[in-house]
Amino acid sequence: MPSDSMHCLFDSRTIAARVSELGAAIDHAYSRAQAPLVAVCVLKGAFVFFADLIRQMQTPLELDFVRLASYGQQTTRQEKVHFSKDIEVSVQGKHVLIVEDIVDTGHTLAYLKQVFQARRPSSIAVCSLIHKTGRREIDLPVDFYGFALDKGFVVGYGLDCAEAYRQLDAIYELTEPASAPRG
């Protein structure tokens, strides 16, 4: 259940309409692709978006999942991040579409792109549900995105705050700073 400390930014109908548009835009982008497409869902936050997005696409694809974990406090952000679950399909010679929940500072995306690039794909593109611009530290292209936000901490539609709210069918902004740790 949504609580008093959040307000709805994008309801389920708005999200569905936008995801449908994104699916069509991605199909168009890959319509002349010669190589196979692998769509990679970044767990956990992108799982709801990913499930809806791939069902709005006609382009044949393989799908797989990756999960990131971070550790330590003393090293740089990039050194801290590692895969706690890697994909199982090969991406060599294939087009890779990384499906993220939110690109915020850009560090997570930079790490993902670096790891996948080393596996010699045909191309790498990024689709993020939320393109959060106000705290960007690494300027990487986000090829497709659902909604742009400057700042704020959002939950629902797969996005969490301390693992809560993922099952909400709309996207909410947390309005109490105490319950919004990262936005």
Distance CA(143)–CA(145), nearest Å, equals 7
Q: Between 30 and 111, name the residue whose CB sits nearer to ligand IMP.
A: 111
- 183 lies in the binding site for ligand IMP (CB under 6 A): yes
Both tokens of 161, joined, read: 């705050």
Marked catalytic residue, from 86, 104, 143, 160: 104
Q: Give the per-residue contact string, 114-133, with ligand IMP (x = CB under 6 A; - = no).
A: ------------------x-
Q: Which of residues 76-95 bind ligand IMP (CB under 6 A)?
A: none
Q: Which residues pair with 7 in a beta bridge?
A: 173
Bridge partners, residue 98, by sequence: 40, 126
Is 40 a residue that touches ligand IMP (CB under 6 A)?
Answer: no
* 52 scored as a contact of ligand IMP (CB under 6 A): no
- What is the smallest separation between the CB atom of 46 and ligand IMP, expressed in angstroms? 7
Active site residue 104: yes
Q: Rule CB under 6 A: say whether 104 interacts with ligand IMP.
A: yes
Q: Is residue 157 a contact residue for ligand IMP (CB under 6 A)? A: no
Q: Per CB under 6 A, which region of 9-17, 28-36, 47-55, 100-108 contacts ligand IMP?
A: 100-108
108 counts as binding ligand IMP under rule CB under 6 A: yes
Query: What residues are labeled active site?
Result: 104
Q: Name the site residues for ligand IMP (rule: CB under 6 A).
A: 45, 100-109, 132, 153-155, 159, 182-183
